[in-house]
């Protein structure tokens, strides 16, 4: 679908002051200064979990919503927007001030806030796919199994250490590898095919190339192809998992023996016991994951060079 160059129109910046363990609250004055005189906007602060979703669901007279925070803030804003009728759904973009910020990689937005504001102000509108799982929408990634335990541990460590990004997730990963490395037996049906049983360490479904603060789990993923990229990794012993880890970080794992890469529009995964999951960094615990994609369901603002 051809992108359209267009004005941002009236913007609402929804900021999560608790993103990155409260660091976002300290950068908000700088964010306001960067936005002033460049973008026609108002800013509101989310006050509690799911408040950003409520704001995005209830706003009126807004053309573009700017999520100020991390992937969790983007997740809430997206779910609020997706609860609106398609004809009354503002565009979405972000200023990355959170811990993971993987969706900013999918959109091509810089980590430097001054650069990011210029990219948004001069950006273009682009239709992007939206993932779904059990009635929830996701912008960037859903994963099930070991890496969801890593996400849960990262949330815990973020509070105790104040770390963020790839170092935070690497520390959480080391903990899980040495203390919680075990496989899952699941039944999987892909794109309407007959279900089959398998053992896995983890499976990830993505709209973009990275998750976990910068792991290139699906390096060739595109958010506008009407499909979710899937990476399924077979059970591994600790020594092999440690040896392969650098390849996963760099996105060089896709042709390795225990890795299975594919693309799908619908996957149903079930287990006899609940399995940990994470959706845009928010944790889940389910026996069944009904996973799909809504092609071109949300309009986003991306840098002009990404059109």
What band does 21 get if pLDDT is binned at 50, 70 and 90? low
What would the pLDDT profile of 183-231 be if each residue is shown by its tens digit?
999 999 999 999 999 999 999 999 999 998 899 999 999 999 999 999 9
Q: Which residue has the tokens 């950068």?
A: 27
pLDDT of residue 164: 83
Please say if the pLDDT value at position 23 is more than 80: no
* CB neighbours of residue 155 within 10 Å: 17
Question: Measuring CA to CA, how many Å separate 169 from each of 68, 175, 212, 232?
Answer: 21, 10, 6, 19
Class of domain 4-129+298-306: alpha beta
> CATH number of the domain at 141-296, please?
2.60.200.40
Given a contact cutoff of 8 angstroms between Cβ atoms, the answer to whether 77 and 65 are in contact is: yes
Please say if the pLDDT value at position 3 is more than 70: no
Strands (E), 140-235: 141-145, 184-190, 196-200, 202-206, 228-233
pLDDT of residue 165: 84
DSSP string, 210-236: -BTTTB-SSTT--TTSSSEEEEEE---
Mean pLDDT of the chain: 94
Give the closest residue to 186 by CA, choosing from 176, 175, 197, 194.
197
Over residues 83-95, the mean pLDDT reads 98
What band does 99 get if pLDDT is binned at 50, 70 and 90? confident
Taking the C-alpha atoms of residue 148 and residue 301, their distance in angstroms, rounded to an integer, is: 29
Q: Rg of the Cα trace of the chain? A: 19
Q: Taking the domains of the chain in order of start, what are their residue ranges?
A: 4-129+298-306, 141-296
């Amino acid at each position: 679908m051809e992108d359209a160059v267009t004005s941002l129109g009236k913007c609402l910046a929804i900021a999560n002051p608790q993103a990155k363990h409260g660091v976002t609250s300290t950068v908000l004055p700088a964010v306001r200064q960067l936005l002033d005189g460049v973008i026609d906007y108002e800013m509101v602060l989310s006050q509690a979990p799911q408040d950003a979703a409520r704001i995005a669901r209830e706003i009126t007279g807004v053309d573009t919503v700017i999520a100020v925070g991390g992937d969790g803030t983007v997740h809430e804003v997206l779910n609020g927007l997706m609860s609106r009728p398609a004809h009354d759904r503002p565009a979405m973009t972000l200023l990355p001030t959170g811990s993971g910020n993987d969706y900013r990689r999918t959109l091509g937005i810089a980590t430097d806030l001054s650069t990011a504001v210029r990219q948004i102000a001069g950006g273009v509108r682009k239709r992007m796919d939206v993932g779904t799982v059990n009635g929830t929408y996701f912008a960037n990634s859903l994963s099930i199994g070991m890496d969801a335990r890593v996400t849960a541990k990262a949330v815990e460590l973020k509070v105790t250490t104040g770390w963020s990004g790839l170092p935070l997730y690497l520390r959480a990963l080391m903990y899980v590898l040495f203390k919680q490395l075990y496989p899952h037996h699941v039944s999987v049906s892909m794109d309407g095919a007959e279900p089959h049983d398998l053992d896995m360490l983890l499976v990830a479904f993505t709209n973009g190339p990275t998750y976990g603060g910068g792991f290139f789990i699906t390096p060739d993923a595109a958010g506008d192809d009407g499909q979710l990229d899937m990476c399924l990794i077979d059970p591994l012993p600790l020594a092999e998992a440690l040896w392969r880890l650098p390849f996963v970080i760099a996105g060089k794992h896709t042709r390795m023996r225990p890795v299975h890469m594919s693309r799908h529009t619908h996957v149903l995964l079930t287990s006899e016991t609940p399995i940990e999951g994470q959706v845009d960094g928010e944790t889940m615990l389910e026996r069944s994951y009904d996973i799909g994609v809504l092609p071109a369901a949300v309009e986003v603002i991306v840098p002009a060079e990404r059109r």
